[in-house]
Amino acid sequence: MRSVSLSDVVCTIQGKNAVNGISLNIKPGEIICFLGPSGCGKTTSLRLIGGIVTPNNGEISIDDEIVSSASFQVPPEDRHIGFLFQDFALFPHLSVMQNVLFGLNIQKHEDADARAGRMLALTGVSHLAERYPDTLSGGEQQRVALARAIAPAPGLVLMDEPFSNLDPPLRADMRRLTVSLLRGEHSDISPATGIIVTHDAVDAMYMADKIAVMSGGQIVQFDKPDQIYENPASPLVVKLLGASNEWAGAVNNGVFSTPIGDFQLDNSVASARLMIRPYHLKPGGGENSFTARLSSLRNHGNTQALDVLLSDGTIWEVVGNDFIENGLQIGDEVKFQINPEDVMLFTD
């Protein structure tokens, strides 16, 4: 298991800072997910760590040895990293077995055949050993790519959207498998530090010890998933982690008056934004409640969703599972309860 550290790393591509001064310390054995909207610099950060692109400024170290700076670059093949990148697709002219053997043979691994066989078994593709990549489904190819990345026991594995082409049940399987392999939960497979790029919050929440949320080439929050979920640093982080309702407006003399009630803020604040998750709004009266009119009701099977009109015409979503059973109907005026702890307030 290897440590990775980035210090004030900048990477300019075609005159634009794709990565704009990121610093990060990743401990041996940690699984880190880079999460962020499209174009925020996740893939470039991973490519910098892999040595595929060179920083214009700053330093990258692996196990306390500098591997990248503006003037010095250890080539990717000398970093002994496992890659699972779209650009490093399976070799089309090699069978599945030969693909997994590739890295093992470079390392002159003693029991390469046995180890490749074991990796194929663990990733559930032993029966495809003699097949060629173009005869495999997307999901099968991703399993083989995972086996190939981890087979040489690299101690550090970089993955760029490793489950991008998988449907939800297969994605959940692959998440579990990836974490168990990185954690070394299988005998004779050494644990590894994992750095994974994803734009899927569920992937990140499930797999990561820590999530690095990126925006505009910078890391805007780096913390444990539950911390990020409970204390998001900005509206962007709230949105990345799941659906949310919001309302923004002026603050007058420290009072933020919203359709769901008044909130006391600092006197110096001029404007604010309130956010709340759809499933945190529950029908019911009482102290912290507000009234809204139901404008639509959708049944998604295991959940039901309401669109509700606030007093100023703003539409919010409410998610639950018993609205229909409780007789709610479009046009009804309904009271909704809020727990003040679920309200996220951001000042501009």
Ligand X SMILES: Nc1ncnc2c1ncn2[C@@H]1O[C@H](COP(=O)(O)OP(=O)(O)OP(=O)(O)O)[C@@H](O)[C@H]1O
Of 218 and 289, CB closest to ligand X: 218
CB of 233 to ligand X, least distance (A): 18
CB of 213 to ligand X, least distance (A): 11
Paired strand residues for 261 = 258
CB of 84 to ligand X, least distance (A): 15
CB of 234 to ligand X, least distance (A): 17
Of 13 and 70, CB closest to ligand X: 13
Region of 12-20, 170-178, 262-270, 284-292 interacting with ligand X (CB under 6 A) = 12-20
β pairing state of 4-13 and 57-62:
antiparallel
SS3 content of the chain, % helix, strand, coil (to 5): 30, 35, 40
Of 199 and 282, CB closest to ligand X: 199
Helices (H), the chain: 42-50, 96-106, 112-122, 138-150, 168-182, 201-207, 225-230, 235-240
Of 85 and 323, CB closest to ligand X: 85
**Per CB under 6 A, does 187 bind ligand X?**
no
CB of 246 to ligand X, least distance (A): 23
**Quick count: other Cβ atoms within 10 Å of Cβ 238?**
21
**Per CB under 6 A, does 14 bind ligand X?**
yes
Q: Which positions from 199 to 218 touch ligand X by CB under 6 A, shown as an x/- string?
A: x-------------------
Of 14 and 187, CB closest to ligand X: 14
* Contact residue for ligand X among 13, 315, 324, 330 (CB under 6 A): 13
Of 49 and 272, CB closest to ligand X: 49
CB of 52 to ligand X, least distance (A): 11
Distance between CA atoms of 35 and 20, rounded to whole angstroms? Answer: 16
CB of 38 to ligand X, least distance (A): 3
Q: Which positions from 22 to 41 touch ligand X by CB under 6 A, shown as an x/- string?
A: --------------x-xxxx
CB of 148 to ligand X, least distance (A): 22
Of 120 and 195, CB closest to ligand X: 195
State whether residue 194 is helix, strand or coil. strand
* Contact residue for ligand X among 4, 6, 9, 18 (CB under 6 A): 18
- Do the Cβ atoms of 36 and 215 come closer than 8 Å? yes
- Do the Cβ atoms of 46 and 33 come closer than 8 Å? no
CA distances from 11 to 14, 18, 55, 159 (A): 10, 6, 5, 19
β pairing state of 218-223 and 245-250:
unpaired
- Do the Cβ atoms of 263 and 345 come closer than 8 Å? yes
Name the nearest CA neighbour of 348 among 215, 231, 245, 248.
248
State whether residue 258 is helix, strand or coil. strand
Q: Which positions from 41 to 80 touch ligand X by CB under 6 A, shown as an x/- string?
A: xxxx------------------------------------
End-to-end CA, the chain: 42
Paired tokens of 266: 């600092």
Question: What residue ranges bind ligand X (CB under 6 A)?
Answer: 13-14, 18, 36, 38-44, 199
